[in-house]
Each structure stands twice: as structure tokens, then as C-alpha cells.
């Protein structure tokens, strides 16, 4: 069942199905309202009650964070039911319909304090109800995106998905990016979040580092250069990369055959040779940074590697940036989030996509989904963490 809209037919079948979607058990038998002395809904098309006028106008005046917290409090009571929620939306629409039908000959609807009642932004309140109940960002309506209210809703969800406050801003951005590209599967979103947490601690960083800027480090150079267990050397003529010795020659830097061979290797990093070349003034650290093994090493939330991938991702119409010439852009938060989300769902890091392993129906291959990004390293840890995110999203 889709998220509720103001025009959703409130059929008996929809009401029966609603508690399953809300992940609230045994709600069908709950009473209609929490407390008849405080909640006073009218019936059918009757005029709004004083309680409704006050409640609806109060909600209408709140900013998005306040609205979400208020709805969370209102709907967290044990006596709330799917019938209460349905009646709430029905009466919201009824209230607006009566306001719109008013003519100069009929008395205006007024607050209990005497003020004339105004139209309620029903779409906005229903949007907030969907956020609170479904832990998803619905498609934006009206001016919610332009006024920052989608951002506020995403941040609200981020606080529910992680207790770590330093993650909330990035999680909210990832949720908004998923919404933008119509990625609605809770399992897929949970796996994306888990991957970003385990790969980089929700920071766009250089591989094997905590640096969020493209800088030189001799230890990093040695790590990127050398082939290791379950790790390729980036100093190889594969996936578009050019070996360092050949690259320096192409840039008209004079090297002996011994120096060129050492710089074309894939085993021990030729630190001594490089230091001597720098000492002689033949090269600089920047020259090494501009060699493909360093330039196209991993960057971002999920490590984007190899020249071909920088080219492929940069040319994607949703990114449209020259990442080959400017690989440091892969460390930009907004671009890194696009690479994370699109790399796992459409562009592809490895040729495999999340939709092959996870959806909200029958596909539930948490551990195998790791192949979307990498080999099976950390596969179990990332799968277990993803399951926690999924449970926090009120998944079934």
C-alpha cells in the first residue's frame, strides 16, 4: 500500500491493511479516539468542532520540525488507531471544504476565541504524517522542497535511524538523495546507510585515511602503489590507469630505465628513488600525486577507484562533473553522496546493483549485497548493521 495522500479513499480494505504498514500490531481493535473529553471529532460532513478548529489551525502554524514532533506525540498514544488516523485526514479535508464553501451570506467558521478560521495546508500535514508513520520521505508537494521542509523532515528521520548526532546531517542528505532518485526500498536505503558508515564513518575521505582533502602522504602513496592481500595495486595498466613511470615520461620528465622500471612496479613502493628524484629537483610530490595510482585511488563515502570509474561517474548526467581532471571533487560531500547512491543503484561500481539483492518484497540477500561495492570483506558486519537501520525504519 502506498503512503497516504489527502485523496486516498478510506475504504474498509485500506483501513484493515493500514496497521501492517504502520508496523503496529493489534490496532484494528483499538478505540477510535484516545480520550473523548480531549479529542472531539465531528461526524461525516458536519461542521468542524471547536477542538478540530483549534487543533488543525495549531498544526498549520507549526514549522516542520515542530509539526513532526507534535504528530509523533499525538500518534504515539496506545489508543491511537488506523481509524483515528483516517478520521483525522477525513476531517482535515472536510474542514477545508467547508471553509472553501463559505459565502458572504453564511457565517464564517471561527476559532473558539472568536478569530476567523483559515484554510489548512492539508498536503503539508499529510506529508508530515507519512514521515512520522512510514519513516519515508514522500514525493515533495507544494513548496516543501524550496522552503527547506523536506530537509527538516529528512533530518527528523535521521535522528530516528541513528543515535549518533554527528551522523545526522549526512544521513539526512543521503535520505534526500534517495528520495530524489526515487529509491524507496527500505532495505536498499538501509544498506546504503550501513555501507557509508562502515566504509568511511559517514565522511567523504581518501582511502586508507581520514583526510577529507586531496593531499600527499608517503604512507598513502606506498599503500596505493603496492599490491597486497585482497588488494590490487593501483599502479597498473588496468581500468584506464597508467603506470607511474610511464606517466612521468609522458609528462616529459627525464628518468633512467632503472627509475622508470621501479616506478612502473606494483610491489614495493620505490620511496628511496622518489626521494632522490625530488632532491635532484626532477620531480615534486605533486608529480607523484598526479600519477594515476595516487590520483585515482579511493575517495568518497564509498571509495571510487580507477580512472575509468572517475570518467564513468563524472560523465553520468546526474553528476556531470569532470572527475578525471578534478578527482578531488569526489571528496565533495554532495558529489560523494551522488556517487554513493547512484553507484549502488544505477551507475554501478562493480557491475552489480542493489536491486539484484534487496527489495521490500522477496529479495533479502543482505550479505551477498556486498558485491555491489566490493568483494565480501566486511560483508557480515555491513549486513548486520543494515538490518538494524532497516528495523529502525519500521521495516516489516
Q: Flag the least confident range among 1-5, 91-95, 199-203.
A: 1-5
**306 in the same domain as 392:** yes
Q: Where residue 106 falls among pLDDT bands split at 50, 70, 90?
A: low
Give CA 159 to chain center in angstroms: 13
Of 110, 133, 156, which residue is a domain's last?
133
Model confidence band, residue 87 (pLDDT cutoffs 50, 70, 90): confident
Task: At 349, list the grid cell.
Answer: 561500481
The answer on 305 and 166 residing in a single domain is yes
Which of 133, 165, 198 represents a domain boundary (last residue)?
133
CA distances, 260 to each of 136, 218, 268, 294, 312 (Å): 55, 19, 14, 17, 29
User: Is 163 a member of any domain?
Assistant: yes
CB atoms within 10 A of CB 141: 17
**Residue 300 confidence (pLDDT):** 98
Residue 384 counted as domain residue: yes
Q: Annotate 301-356 with DSSP letters as a single string.
A: TTTB-SHHHHHHHHHSTTT---TTT-GGGGGSHHHHHHHHHHHHHTS-SSS--GGG
pLDDT score, position 115: 73
Residue 34: burial class (beta carbons within 10 Å; 0-12, 13-18, 19+): middle
**pTM for this entry:** 0.86
- The C-alpha atoms of residue 127 and residue 130 are separated, in whole angstroms, by 5
Q: How far apart are CA 129 and CA 72, in angstroms?
A: 8
Quick: pLDDT tens for 294-313.
999 999 999 999 999 999 99
What pLDDT digit, counting tens, does each position of 239-298 carry?
A: 999 999 999 999 999 999 999 999 999 999 999 999 999 999 999 999 999 999 999 999
Claim to verify: residue 350 and residue 375 sit in the same structural domain: yes
Same-domain check for residues 103 and 152: no
**pLDDT score for 14:** 38
d(CA 155, CA 215): 31
Whole-number average pLDDT of the chain: 86
Q: Is residue 167 part of a domain?
A: yes
Asked if 120 and 12 sit in the same domain, the reply is yes
Check whether residue 321 and residue 286 sit in a common domain. no
Asked if residue 180 has pLDDT above 60, the reply is yes
Q: Please give the residue range of the domain that contains residue 4.
A: 1-133
pLDDT of residue 62: 97
The structural domain count of the chain equals 3
Tens digits of residue pLDDT in 126-176: 999 989 988 989 988 889 999 999 999 999 999 999 999 999 999 999 999
Q: What's the mean pLDDT in 360-385?
A: 93
3-state secondary structure of 205: strand
My answer on whether 193 and 316 are in the same domain is: yes
Out of 230-234, 379-383, 387-391, least confident range: 230-234
Task: Please determine, for residue 381, whether its predicted confidence score (pLDDT) is greater than 70.
Answer: yes
My answer on whether 244 and 329 are in the same domain is no
Distant-in-sequence, close-in-space partners of 190: CB < 8 Å, separation ≥ 6: 386, 387, 389, 390, 393, 395
* Cβ neighbours around 299 below 10 Å, total: 30
Strands 299-300 and 205-206: antiparallel
Query: Is residue 213 included in any domain, yes or no?
Result: no
Residue 300 has phi, psi (to 5 degrees) of 110, -165
CA distance 283 to 299: 24
| Dihedral sign, Cα of residue 362, residue 364, residue 370, residue 375 | negative
| pLDDT value of position 117 | 75
CATH number of the CATH domain containing 155: 1.10.530
Residues 176 and 188 grouped into a single domain: yes
pLDDT, residue 17, reads 38
The answer to whether residue 212 is domain-embedded is no
Q: What is the mean pLDDT of residues 219-226?
A: 97
Boundary of a domain, candidates 77, 108, 133: 133
| Residue 300 DSSP code | E
Check whether residue 250 and residue 273 sit in a common domain.
Answer: yes
Do 110 and 96 fall into the same domain? yes
Could you tell me which residues come within 8 angstroms of residue 233 by beta carbon, excluding any fewer than 6 positions away? Answer: 224, 225, 226, 227, 266, 267, 293
Any domain includes 112: yes
Q: Measured between alpha carbons, how far is 14 from 8 in angstroms, rounded to an integer?
A: 9
Amino acid at each position: 500500500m502506498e503512503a497516504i495522500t489527502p485523496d486516498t479513499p478510506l475504504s474498509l480494505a485500506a483501513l484493515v491493511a493500514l496497521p501492517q504498514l504502520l508496523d503496529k500490531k493489534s490496532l484494528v481493535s483499538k478505540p477510535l479516539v484516545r480520550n473523548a473529553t480531549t479529542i472531539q471529532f465531528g461526524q461525516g460532513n458536519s461542521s468542524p468542532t471547536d477542538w478540530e478548529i483549534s487543533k488543525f489551525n495549531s498544526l498549520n502554524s507549526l514549522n516542520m520540525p515542530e509539526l513532526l514532533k507534535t504528530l509523533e506525540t499525538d500518534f504515539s498514544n496506545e489508543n491511537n488507531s488506523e481509524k483515528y488516523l483516517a478520521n483525522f485526514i477525513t476531517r482535515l479535508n472536510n474542514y477545508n471544504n467547508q471553509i472553501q464553501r463559505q459565502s458572504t451570506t453564511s457565517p464564517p467558521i471561527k476559532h473558539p476565541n472568536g478569530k476567523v478560521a483559515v484554510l489548512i495546508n492539508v498536503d503539508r500535514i499529510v506529508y508530515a504524517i507519512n514521515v512520522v508513520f512510514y519513516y519515508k520521505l514522500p514525493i515533495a508537494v507544494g513548496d516543501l522542497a524550496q522552503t527547506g521542509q523536506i530537509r527538516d523532515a529528512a533530518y527528523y528521520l535521521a535522528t530516528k535511524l541513528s543515535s549518533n548526532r554527528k551522523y545526522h546531517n549526512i544521513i539526512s542528505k543521503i535520505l534526500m538523495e534517495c528520495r530524489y532518485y526515487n529509491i524507496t526500498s527500505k532495505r536498499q536505503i538501509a544498506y546504503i546507510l550501513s555501507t557509508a558508515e562502515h566504509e568511511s564513518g559517514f565522511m567523504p575521505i581518501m582511502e586508507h585515511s581520514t583526510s577529507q582533502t586531496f593531499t600527499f602522504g608517503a604512507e598513502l602513496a606506498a599503500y596505493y602503489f603496492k599490491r597486497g592481500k585482497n588488494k590490487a595495486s593501483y599502479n597498473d595498466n588496468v581500468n584506464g590507469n597508467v603506470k607511474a613511470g610511464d606517466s612521468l615520461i609522458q609528462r616529459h620528465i627525464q628518468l633512467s630505465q632503472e627509475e622508470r622500471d621501479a616506478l612502473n612496479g606494483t610491489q614495493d613502493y620505490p620511496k628511496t628513488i622518489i626521494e632522490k628524484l625530488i632532491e635532484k629537483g626532477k620531480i615534486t610530490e605533486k608529480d607523484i600525486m598526479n600519477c594515476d595510482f595516487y590520483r585515482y585511488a579511493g575517495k568518497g563515502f564509498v571509495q571510487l577507484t580507477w580512472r575509468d570509474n572517475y570518467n564513468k561517474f563524472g560523465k553520468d548526467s546526474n553528476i556531470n562533473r569532470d572527475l578525471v581532471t578534478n578527482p578531488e571533487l569526489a571528496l565533495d560531500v554532495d558529489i560523494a553522496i551522488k556517487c554513493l547512491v547512484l553507484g549502488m543503484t544505477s551507475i554501478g561500481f562493480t557491475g552489480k546493483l542493489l536491486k539484484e539483492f534487496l527489495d521490500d518484497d522477496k529479495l533479502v540477500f543482505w550479505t551477498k549485497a556486498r558485491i555491489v561495492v566490493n568483494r565480501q570483506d566486511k560483508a557480515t558486519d555491513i549486513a548486520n548493521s543494515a538490518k538494524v537501520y532497516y528495523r529502525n525504519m519500521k521495516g516489516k
